[in-house]
Amino acid sequence: MVNAKGELAGLITMRDIDRVQQYPLAARDQRGRLRAGAAVGVGDYERIDALIAADVDVIVVDTAHGHSQNVIDTVKTIKSKYDIDVIAGNIATAEAADDLIAAGANAVKVGIGPGAICTTRVISGVGVPQVSAIINCARAAVKHNIPVIADGGVRQSGDITKAIAAGASSVMIGSLFAGLKESPGQLVIFKGRQFKEYRGMGSLGAMVKGSAERYGQKSSTEKDKLVPEGVEGRVPYRGTLDDFIYQLVGGLRAGMGY
């Protein structure tokens, strides 16, 4: 490709064209790269600086309790220092949505304990039914034209329909994708069936690897010093992502037709 002056402006190969035609709905930036987001904890400014330098597209301030002063302050700091979109969560109330949006959040993430292998509601006694939480937050977010991301509670394609109908703009999926070929879990054979290993962010294994701060706990490699809010397990192997996404989208399309 050349510009009006005949100067080289870019290089496009047939492979690039094939990729665009094969994946027309892929989210890409102005340079044709797939968009990428990354999660950070509260006050983790060294990691934020590194992510910005790596051209990340969105920062997610990700904690189990998003309606806290530390999260609000972190969102304010990022927005004042960088020109980048920030997602903040997790929350479950309209008041939380209002406060995070006022701090500068470009989207809010909703979900306290609905995950398939999350035990927050049992361990801490805290949680809100997911559809109710989405409705609560969406009523506040819609006033500011801010999207709501429903995080957790998606067991079937019909749950996506419910989340969207309740006011969410998108959903985050964990357990359904955990059984796919492309997921990082180890493929195992159990009683003649294929499974993939899966662990929650609040599981002991994940906390030891660094997710403890998300739950307001200090990082530690000593398991007896941590209080898990999730478990580890196995999920049935479901095949490839491409085929599975087709089924999920089909279910959502059917739901929207009723």
Q: Is 118 a catalytic residue?
A: yes
Could you confirm whether domain 14-256 is CATH 3.50.50.60? no
Percent of the chain past pLDDT 90, that is, above it, reads: 63
Question: What values do phi and psi take at 188, rounded to 5?
Answer: -130, 155
pLDDT of amino acid 167: 98
Residue 60 banded pLDDT, cuts 50, 70, 90: very high
Domain borders along the chain are: 14-256
Q: Among 44-48, 135-139, 142-146, 197-201, which is the least confidently predicted range?
A: 197-201
Catalytic residue among 118, 137, 199, 238: 118
Catalytic residue among 137, 199, 214, 238: 214
CA dist 114 → 8, 16, 48 (Å): 52, 40, 28
Distance separating alpha carbons of residues 115 and 133, to the nearest angstrom: 13
Q: What is the pLDDT of residues 114-145, one digit of tens each?
A: 887 787 888 889 899 999 999 999 999 999 99
Residue 43 has pLDDT above 80, yes or no: yes
Q: Is 35 a catalytic residue?
A: no
**Over the range 48-73, which residues count as b (16 or more CB within 10 Å of their CB) and which as e?**
beebbeeebbbbbbbbbbbbbeebbe
Q: How many C-beta neighbours within 10 Å does residue 180 have?
A: 19
Residue 30 banded pLDDT, cuts 50, 70, 90: confident
Q: Count the residues in the chain.
A: 258
Question: What's the rounded mean pLDDT across residues 6-33?
Answer: 87
Question: What's the rounded mean pLDDT across residues 153-175?
Answer: 96
Q: Is the peptide bond before 3 cis (omega within 30 degrees of 0)?
A: no
Tally helices (H) and strands (E) across the chain. 10, 9
